[in-house]
Amino acid sequence: MLKVEKLQVHSAIIHRLDNQKENSTGLDLSDLSLQMDDELKTLLETHTKSGFEDGRIRYANFLDKDINQVLSECYKVLDDPEYLFVDGSKILARLLFSAMTNKSISAADIAICLANCNDVEYLCLLKLDYKDNYISESTDTPEGRYIGIKKLGSGWPQLGTKLQKAAFIKRTNDEYELIILDRQKNKTDKSDISLFFQKSFLNVELIDDSKLNTNGFIKGVKEFVKTSSITPEKKRSIVDNAINLVVNTENINLRQFAESQFSEDLPEEERKLFMDSLITEFERNGVRRLEFVKSQDVAQVYAKKRRITLDGIKLEIDPAIYADPDKFIFTPRFNASGEEVADITIKGLKINKMD
């Protein structure tokens, strides 16, 4: 997950990649950078920001660095954008077009942009799939006025529509070399069609950040409840729900989790503030994506028995019992001295042994 604080597109160029035509006649390359007025600049910046902030972005590194043409051309452009941007963009467009041999892959324009996001320079590759556009058309007929629909042709995705494929390459190499968005990639489909963007074109390896994200998710929840102005019961509920989610589900969606923790009966502004604060804590604690697959290693840690140590009492509780309010209720509160204490209710459990 990348929160865009500021974004500016410096320059852009468009190439047409219509792989539905025969004999490569659908490859149409521009010799000139795009002349951007304010409206077009806003359009490209909106699509670029949407790609950066998409919950399904992944961080990646290039493979076969010595012979990876995409890496080589991207770095050349980033090192000398004034002189190499147009020619480099043409090579990148040809490489992508060559990877789009299967007719099941959508024809598209590729918008290649030089942009600064949060003070980092990126070369942005946006695959803008063609969408059919329609408009109503009125005519007079002998029977009366008739309004029908006609096709205008193919156009770009509308603003607000999520990009399907994009890549954001940076020159600085710290934890990752690029960000990739591939919403059409099937998690189980390993075919060339599913992986053409990631493998055939970019040739990258995704960074496994499931452990980082899962740990950041739990830490973010715990940090949120420390400072949030909600009841102790609500704090415990949110932490328990987070742990149950990690233990019992495969996929974690931060926005869905945040929305599920705060009742729609709350004033809209108050509810939004709680949700935004919770998501901010996820970001601060290292969660990179709004949606991710949990780490099995982290899940196993939280699936173990829960331990609670109180004055004079130590409890070891099976996670299934701990999560069942009909059998176990743990209610933290503050006593008259301001100390955090707990009320514990255990109901209906069979006694196996008493010493």
Q: Which two tokens stand for residue 121?
A: 């320079």
Q: Judge whether residue 340 has pLDDT over 60.
A: yes
- Average pLDDT, rounded, for the chain: 86
**How do residues 318-332 score in pLDDT, each as one tens digit?**
876 776 777 888 888
**How do residues 305-316 score in pLDDT, each as one tens digit?**
778 888 888 888
Q: Judge whether residue 336 has pLDDT over 90.
A: no
pTM of the predicted protein model: 0.69
**Choice among 68-77, 78-87, 114-123, 289-298 with the minimum mean pLDDT:** 289-298
**How do residues 109-144 score in pLDDT, each as one tens digit?**
999 999 999 999 999 999 988 776 777 888 888 888
The span from the CA of 234 to the CA of 215, in Å, is 21
* pLDDT at position 29: 93
Q: Which two tokens stand for residue 23?
A: 């004999």
Q: Which two tokens stand for residue 111?
A: 């918008």
Split at pLDDT 50, 70, 90, the class of 193 is: low
189 or 215, which is more confident? Answer: 215
The span from the CA of 120 to the CA of 79, in Å, is 13
Cα-based distances in Å from 110 to 82, 100, 152, 291, 331: 20, 12, 21, 26, 56
> How many CA atoms within 13 Å lie on the side-chain side of 98?
12
With CA atoms as reference, report the closest residue to 107 among 203, 198, 24. 24
Q: Judge whether residue 14 has pLDDT over 90.
A: yes
**How do residues 40-66 score in pLDDT, each as one tens digit?**
999 999 999 999 988 888 889 999 999
Q: Judge whether residue 251 has pLDDT over 70.
A: yes
* pLDDT at position 153: 60
**How do residues 94-110 score in pLDDT, each as one tens digit?**
999 999 988 888 888 99
